[in-house]
Amino acid sequence: MFKKIIVTMLFLVLSLVLFACDKISNTETLITTGLTESSLETTTTLDACKALHVSYVYDELDYRLVFADEFENPSGIPSILKWKYQTGDGGWGNDELQYYTDGLNSTVVDGSLVISARKESLGDSQYTSSRMNSVKSFLYGKFEIRAMLPQGSGTWPAIWMMPEKSMYGSWPNSGEIDIMEHIGVDMNKVHFSIHTEKYYFKINTQKTFVSIIPSVSTEYHIYGIEWLPDKIIFFVDDVIKWIYSPTNYVDCPSSAEWPFDKPFYLILNLAIGGWGGTPYASFIEEQMKVDYVRVYQANNLFP
């Protein structure tokens, strides 16, 4: 019996020694890599934050043209290799009045895309127009769209972007980027906005900026963004108007503030009604003209 007690005690002592050695070894490993248990936990938390710890040098970004439409198709029809139509009516969630047709309201004339909104009945709508989505989607880059906008109450042209896939959930969780919106009831005021799970217009928390741009309906202007892994820069005619950076609002952004790390596609459309107001009494037709769409990306922006 005494021998069994001695053997048991020796086994316990040996186990304690091995456990202590293993603990020291693990601690040494953490120290060797520059981490302690507490710092490892902190690092894991930081890595979960979006739009942080990005590794690019802004002044060294090498942008190259990756997509362009100069709208010079002699057939007068926008390229089906570059654009597809989203069709139908029903208000589009914004009390809009138009029926979006399958190309009947989009033509190429004298080197420009012309999207025409007309007063004519189709389906349950008294107006028709066009909504064009780019076939290709993009992640980050510079986007430049040279356009001349319609005028008058009732018009609501927009140049914007939506996610290729709703990776973070249905709208607004997966994001929306409004490169340009203009409402005819408030001429020459251009709106730049983003919508996310935390920031969107239906709860009046959207992040947005408004700028006066003279002669939007009589002159072409370049509306664009520079979309980076940690911010989106909005500009008109190469002049920066607004920068959305999620870290200006929270220390550790999640997809609720920054869902903009997935591919998005471009949208060109001219809505009637809704935010644009009631169409003016003599409304027959208004047009949004787009001289070109150009997208640039930098290979050295990606890991």
Residues known to be catalytic:
176, 181
**Pairing mode of beta strands 264-272, 155-163:** antiparallel
What one-letter code names the amino acid at 39?
S
Closest CA to 149 of 119, 117, 127, 126: 117
Residue 10, φ and ψ in degrees, nearest 5:
-65, -40
- The answer to whether 181 and 194 have CB atoms below 8 angstroms apart is no
Residue-wise burial string across 201-212, b where 16 or more C-beta atoms lie within 10 A, e elsewhere: eeeeebbbeebe
8 A C-beta contact, residue 227 and residue 32: no
List Cα–Cα distances, 272 to 56, 130, 136, 143, 214, in angstroms: 42, 10, 26, 25, 22
Residue 287 to residue 151: CA distance in whole angstroms: 8
Give CA–CA dist 166/173, Å, rounded. 8
Q: Three-state SS for 261? A: coil
Helix H or strand E segment including 157: strand 155-163
In eight-state DSSP terms, residue 58 is G
